[in-house]
Structure 1
Amino acid sequence: MDKYNMENPQLYLAENKLIKKNVKHNQKEYNIFRYDKSKLTPDQYNTVGLFRSVVYQNEAIVSFAPPKSISYETFKSTATPIITMEEYVEGTMIQLFWSGDTWELATRSSVGGNVSFFNIKENDQMVRPTFRELFLNTIIYNETLHSSQPDFFNCLEKIPKNYVLSFVLQHPMNRIVTPINEPSLYLVNVYAVEKNTIVETNISCTVRLLPDWVKRPTPYNLSLEELECKISSQFMDYTKVGIMIHGVNSTGEIVRTKLRNPLYETVRKLRGNQSKLQYRYMELCKDNLVDEYLNYYPEHTQWFQCYDMEIHTFTIQLHSFYVQCFVNKKAPLKTYPYQYRTHMYRLHEHYKEILREKRDRVNLHVVTRYVDQLHPSVLMHSINYSLRDR
C-alpha cells in the first residue's frame, strides 16, 4: 500500500502553484485544491502533483483524486519495478466520498457533480446533462439490467467512511473518443484518508463489496517490451486508449505512468477540448478538418450541416445589408441589426482601402472570404446574437 503525505496546500497556494476553488453544496462548504497544469514541472510531481483534485472540508481532506502520473520515458529509464498493469479506461473521473451524513460526488472541479462539459444531441436539441445526472443514470440503468444484484447505495453502507472511491464514468451521452454503447462505472482506485495522509488501499477488497456490474480495468501481465508491442498492434484501433502502469521508484514510493495509443491521441485532439460543438465546427472549418472529424464522429453530421447553413445564411444577409446600405443608400448604417453593423463597416473600409483602387466591389465572394476569416468566437457571437432573448 502506498501513502501520500499531503503538505499544507496553503504553502503551494502562496507560491501560485495551486488553484483554490470555494464551493458550497447541500449547505456544506468545501475547498478544492488543484495544481495549475501550465506551471507544474516534473520535479514537483511528488509534491504539488498530488493535488490533481483534493477536497477539504473544515481544513480536513475528504476527497482525493489519483495524482499526476510521470512520463513513460521517466518510468522506463529509472527501471521501476512493475506492480500492476491494466487498461487505461477512458471516461470522466468521479470521486465518491463521505461528507458527514451521506456519500457525495466530486469531479475535478466540483462537489456534487452538478456541472457538465460537452453539449450532446437528444431529440433534435442540444442538451448538457450534468455528471451527477449521468452518474445516477448509470446506476439506475445497471440496477435495472441486473435486478438480482444488490442496491448500489446499500452496498456503500459496508464501505469505511474514511474511504474515497475513485470511479471512471462512461456514458453514451458523454462520449469523448471511444464510442460508448451503454453506461458503465469502473472502480480504478480506493483511498483511505487518515488526517493528512492518503493511503492507497487494496482495491479488490472494496470491489467485492459492490454490485458485480461495477467494472474493473482489464489487467495485463506483460514486460515493458511486450507492452510496447501490444500498443503498436493497437495503432490501427483508435478506441484503444492505452495502458496504465503502477510501479515503485527508487525511494519505495508507488508511481503511475501511461502508455498511450498515438492514434487515440490523434482523434482526441481532433475532438478538441471545446464544450460548444458549434465553436468546434468553426475551428475545424478553418483547419479543413471537417471531413476527417466526421469520419470518427458521424453522429454530428446533421448538426454540422445546420451550422454550415447558419454561416451561409449569415453571409448572404451580410452581403444584402451591405448592398442596401453602401450601394443603394437605403438607410444609414446605425439602423441595421447590431450583429451586422461592425462587419458592414469593416467590409466598406476594405472596399475604400483596397477594392476601390482596383475597381472591384464587395460581392458575395468577398463577403464569404471575409466571414471565413473571422475568429470562431466573433462569428459565433454574431450568428447567435438574435437568439439571446429567446
Structure 2
Amino acid sequence: MNWLTNAAHTRWLEAEADSLLAFASGALTDEGFGYLDGEGRPVPAEGSHLWVTCRMIHSFALGALLGRPGSATMVDHGVRALAEHFHDKEHGGWYAQVGPDGPIDSTKAAYAHAFVILAASSAAAAGRPGGKELLAEALTVSLERFWRDEDGMVVESYDAGFTRLEDYRGVNANMHTVEAYLAAADVTGDDAWLERATRITKRVVDDFARNNDWRIPEHFDADWKPLPDYNMDHPADPFRPAGATIGHWFEWSRLTLHARAAWQLRGVSPEDWMLDGAQALFDLAVTEGWDVDGADGFVYTVDFTGKPLVTERMHWVVTEALGAAAALYRVTEDPNLPAWYQLWWEYAAVHLIDEEGGSWIHELDSDNEPSATVWNGKPDIYHAIQATLIPRLPLTPPIAPALAQGLLDKV
C-alpha cells in the first residue's frame, strides 16, 4: 500500500493537524506566543521568542486556510504582537525575545527574521489584516540588512541597532531564508525572491554539499570559509550543533525541489544540479542518519566522515524526512520512497506523537526515551504541522499559497 496516494491516510493527516492546532492554542501570551513546556503551557521565564511567535503565526495561518475556526484570531493576535511588542521602532527589525517588561534579547538575527517573512507571507495568503504590510516591511529589512548580493547569501546577526555584525556565517539561517523567500515570491508575485532563494540553494547544495561528499558544512567565518571544528566543545547546540546536521540534508533536499518546481511552473527548465543534489542529500541522510547506532530513529549530527556525533533523536528530523520523501516521490515516483515514508510515520506514531500530552515529544535519547539534551519541552508545532500538509500538496506554490489556491489533495 502506498500511503502517499491513500485517502484514508490523508484523513489521518488531517486529524493530526487538528490535534496539533489544538495543542498550540495554549501558547497565547500577551506578547505573542510562548515557548511551551511538555504539557503545552508557556514557560514564563522564556517570555516570547520571535522565532516561536512567527512559527505559530504561520501554523495558525495554515489552520485558517484549512477552515479551522479560531485560527484566524490567533494569526491576528500574532501579527499585532509583532507590531506592538517585537518591533524595534527606533532601529527597525524585530527583537529576538520579549517579555511583559519589554525586550529580553534585543539582537537581530537572520534566522528569526526569516520566520517573520514566512509568518507574514502566510498571514497575507490567508487574507489576514496587516499581513501584506508586515511582509513588505520584513522583506525590506531582509534585503537591506541581511542579504549580501556579492555572496548570494544572508549574514547572521546584529546587535539591536544594526551597528555590529557578527563575524559568524551560518547555513541554518540561509536555509530558512530560502523557505521564506520562496513563500514571498508567490505571495508578492515578485520572482526576484525566487531568484535569491535559488542563488542561496545553489551555493549550499551545488557547492558546499557537493564538495564535502554531501555532508553540508554548517558554520563559516565572515569570508565564508568553513569552520569544521565549530562548537565541538558544545556539540548538541540546538541552533549551531557541531558537525553536519542530518535533518538539514532532508530540508535542503525538499527546498531544492520546491525551487525546481517553481521554475518549472514559470516555464524555465531546471538545472541538473537541482534534482541530482536533492536525491544525493536524501540518500545520504538515510544512509548516515537512520538506524545507524543500533536503534530506530535519526541521529542528530554526524562528523565529516559520517560517524554519529550527537545521537539524540529530534522530532523535527523525522518531519523533514517525511516531507523530503513526499517531495522526491512527486518528482521521481521511486517505488522505494513510499516504504520509507510509511516506516517514518510508524516511528513517529510509536515514539514521538504524544497521544496523552499532545503534540510531539521534541527529543528522544538513543534508546528512544524522552530526553532534553538539546530541547526542553514542546516549543511549537511548525515542523509537525508541515509534515501533515506537504504530502497533500504540490511542490509549488509553497504551503500557504497552495492552500489559498485550493490545491489541497489535488496533486
Q: Fold conserved (TM > 0.5)? A: no
Structure with more helix by fraction: 2
Structure with bigger RCO (C-alpha 8 Å, 6+ apart): 2
> TM-score band, normalised by the shorter chain?
under 0.3
Structure with more strand by fraction: 1
Of structures 1 and 2, the larger Rg is shown by: 1
Question: What is the TM-score of this pair, normalised by structure 1?
Answer: 0.25
